[in-house]
Amino acid sequence: MTFTLPRRAALAALATLAAWQPALAQDNVFKIGLVLPMTGQQATTGRQVEAAARLYMAQHGDTVAGKKVQLIVKDDTSLPDQTRRLAQELIVNDKVNVLAGMGITPSAMAVAPLATQSKTPLVVMAAATSSITEASPYIVRSSFTLPQVSVALADWAPKNGIKTVVTLVSDYGPGIDAEKFFNQRLTFNGGKVTESLRVPLRNPDFAPFLQKVRDLKPDALFVFVPSGAGAAVMKQFVERGMDKAGIKLIATGDVTDDDQLNDMGDGALGVVTSHHYSAAHPSELNKKFVDAFQKANKNLRPNFMAVGGYDGMRVIYEALKASKGQGGGDALLAAMKGQIFESPRGPVFIDAQTRDIVQNVYLRKVERKDGQLYNVEFDVIKDVKDPGKTK
């Protein structure tokens, strides 16, 4: 069959358009590659962050500045080699506009050079070692840092009869940060860390360490373990009769994690922690957040990981709006810096210099409220910057 010239031209135009359309559709999509541990030891972090990110999208719509926001979730099983491989695929094959998630510090560190090379903003929603934001100028953090939350507890302890402390931390970045900053501040306040114990991150057995603490008999045991491991520490602390032996448990809020707290039993009552988020934070915004999160997730209580995911999405959405949907990595990054907003945790600020989050740190005590265990806030230190930053 032969075509007349105008028909042939029309067909050619159609073919061009057909080839064009996917590209156009692609241009109108804004992709967020969310890499999280969805299985394995840190699975609760993945579950919390993903649920919160989806809640944010459900509440704020998936069209922002004319772009359709697409969330691509990948499970790195908390193995940093996997995080790096998945992030690479997301950058090269999916051409994501933003990377996000990062359940543990080694994952964030593994992806940092890729963010730098590809000029892709990386929103760290969970990992909390101080130095992460220094690993790439493209990293912005919506979670917290261990130095930020540990110092408050080292101020509280000596004023409350605690002079000698043994520290027990997971033996990697955030644990070492918590150990160092708690120790420095307690010493400055006239207290003393009599022993510093470190447990492996993977499959820790707390029993021999707790036995050692019992023998040392400090006024208190200070603990940091990552989200998900707190219930095991609490259980063994009580089983070994540490509380009865007169040793108080104090910790970062990672230990009395809202994801697990309600199942920890009465042994957790009275434990004092410092942290940036409690599901019991008494603000209107937080009540709405907790209700909506629980409704969407079979009554699961949001923890501090969820709030990191929720606020991280806010940072991304507002950056997309501010750059009018046009921006590449650098424009997005610029619009992420300096954001100030009210989070379910309280007022927060993304420091433009450090790209880290400035936020309130609360002292809390585990109490029973309406039949459930909560971290009830009793004091606040306002607008705390990460004290771990070297510059």
In the block, residue with structure tokens 């156009």: 24
* Interface residue with ligand PHB, options 48, 83, 120, 129 (CB under 6 A): 129
Q: Which residues contact residue 156 at a Cβ distance below 8 angstroms, ignoring those fewer than 6 apart?
A: 272, 274, 363, 379
Note whether 178 binds ligand PHB by CB under 6 A: no
Note whether 254 binds ligand PHB by CB under 6 A: yes
* Interface residue with ligand PHB, options 44, 48, 97, 105 (CB under 6 A): 105
Distance, CA of 174 to CA of 129 (rounded, Å): 5
Distance, CA of 275 to CA of 143 (rounded, Å): 11
To ligand PHB, the closest distance from the beta carbon of 383 in angstroms equals: 21
Task: Determine the interface stretch with ligand PHB among 126-134, 312-320, 322-330, 345-353 (rule: CB under 6 A).
Answer: 126-134
Give, in degrees to the nearest 5, the angle at Cα 386 between 381 and 387. Answer: 90
In terms of C-beta density within 10 A (0-12 exposed, 13-18 middle, 19 or more buried), how is residue 240 classed?
A: middle
Q: Edge-to-edge strands of the sheet including 139-141?
A: 63-64, 67-75, 29-36, 98-101, 122-124, 139-141
Q: Which is nearer to ligand PHB, 143 or 343 (CB)?
A: 143
Note whether 118 binds ligand PHB by CB under 6 A: no
To ligand PHB, the closest distance from the beta carbon of 106 in angstroms equals: 7
Residue ranges in 218-247 that form contacts with ligand PHB under rule CB under 6 A: 226-227
Note whether 36 binds ligand PHB by CB under 6 A: no
Return the structure tokens found at 68.
């359709």
Task: Determine the interface stretch with ligand PHB among 22-30, 109-117, 122-130, 274-282 (rule: CB under 6 A).
Answer: 122-130
Note whether 336 binds ligand PHB by CB under 6 A: no
Residue ranges in 7-26 that form contacts with ligand PHB under rule CB under 6 A: none
Distance, CA of 45 to CA of 52 (rounded, Å): 11
Q: Which residues bind ligand PHB (CB under 6 A)?
A: 104-105, 127-129, 173-174, 226-227, 254
